[in-house]
Amino acid sequence: MEHDRIRIGKDSRAHFLSAAMLLRAGTCAAAMLLCVGAGTAVLLHRDGTVATGGLPQGRELRILWYNVENLFHPSDDSIPGDDEFTPAGVRHWTWKRYRQKLTALAKVIVAAGEGEPPELVGLAEVENDSVVADLADHPILRPYGYSYLHRDGPDHRGMDVAVLCREERFGLLECTFHPPPPDETYSDTREMVHICGNWGKRDTLDLFLVHLISRYGGTGATAAYRREQVRLLTRLIDSVHYRRQHAPVVVAGDFNEDTDGYAMEPLREVLSGGDSIRNILSTGSYKYRGVWERIDRFMVTGGAGRYRFEGSTLRLPVLLTPDEAYGGIKPRRTYEGFRYAGGVSDHLPVLLIIRRRLFPGGSAR
């Protein structure tokens, strides 16, 4: 599997862009990506000038994060992790079920913006570029002009992190995929994604999207490696925050651990500029043995006094089902064991709204 190729696309008109191709003639829509380092790309216009970003679009930006749980393409490929998610596999993952899940996801994305979908959508547990392209090209989402960014990563199940972006509202300037920290046992997990872009008239945003290593074998079994991932993330945030200074840096992801966990300690440290990384808390998005956990969340540094940050968990009725084992409700997932349940995910989506203050000053929330 190649890990040096970033897939960018709009609808079905996508291109694989390796460093060599980019230097020759690789294009996407009216711009192209120029690789400037391992896993890094910068948007350029066809004439070679650097793209300057988005169009003026009001005073707010919405970001949705959603772990979509095993969004596999029904066709079989060389990755053994997808064998059960095919029409002939043990889960009987048919094209009809695949289309139904894409439709449900598209409806959630539109509902998250109350009719005006979020400018940015971070996705976890997508198998490949095909599923992201199919989602972006869904008839429900097609009118909103989503493009996407994806790269095949080293995860042993083929699960990646990807981004949907409304080009007319968020001008993408840079995208970097950061490999997991080296480790003999656990480094075959998801990459971190960093994008930078412009929105509104003069606003810049850096966004990190992460899906940290899962808690298989128990929380403690992978906690040490998850902590190494968090150390890497903290260094990346600190570096960007030092360069940007006043612009906000947002982190969205599935951390597989709550804010006060052992592995999260590096994120609680003060950054080199004296700022801190603040959790934008919302209600739980994942239910484990009857307890709601806030493992899907947003964090922010910078932007204090200039922006308001509001986080929420989307508890749409269609995403929930009765919890017969522990009482109350829980996310309605696609499969309960090997039984098809027809839901969307075992996680709920979380939403961040960034609002520019009319009069700068005051607290960040």
pLDDT of residue 82: 78
Could you tell me whether strands 60-71 and 120-126 are parallel, antiparallel, or unpaired per DSSP bridges? Answer: parallel
DSSP, collapsed to helix, strand or coil, labels residue 76 as: coil
Q: What is the mean pLDDT of the chain?
A: 84
Instruction: Decide: 257 and 295 in contact? Cβ < 8 Å.
Output: yes
Domains belonging to the chain, first-starting first, are: 6-356 (3.60.10.10)
Residue 123 has pLDDT above 90, yes or no: yes
Residue 35 has pLDDT above 90, yes or no: no
Please tell me the number of Cα atoms within 13 Å of 317 on its side-chain side. 0
Which structure tokens are listed for 82?
């997808």
pLDDT of residue 190: 95
Q: Report the DSSP beta bridge partners of residue 177.
A: 193
Q: Which of 325, 242, 355, 252 is nearest to 295 (CA)?
A: 252
pLDDT digits (tens, 9 = 90+) for 200-239: 878 999 999 999 999 876 767 899 999 999 999 999 999 9
Which structure tokens are listed for 166?
């409304």
Instruction: Point out the least confidently predicted range of 219-233, 269-283, 323-337, 339-353.
Output: 269-283
Residue 46 has pLDDT above 60, yes or no: no
pTM, to two decimals:
0.86
pLDDT of residue 279: 94
More confident residue, 71 or 185: 71
Round to whole Å and give the CA distance between 101 and 320.
15
Round to whole Å and give the CA distance between 317 and 319.
5
pLDDT of residue 363: 59
Task: Quote the distance between the C-alpha of residue 190 and its chain's center.
Answer: 11
Round to whole Å and give the CA distance between 93 and 72.
8
Q: Which of 235, 242, 365, 245 is nearest to 312 (CA)?
A: 365
Q: Which of 182, 173, 218, 191 is nearest to 36 (CA)?
A: 173
Round to whole Å and give the CA distance between 348 and 252.
14
More confident residue, 349 or 52: 349
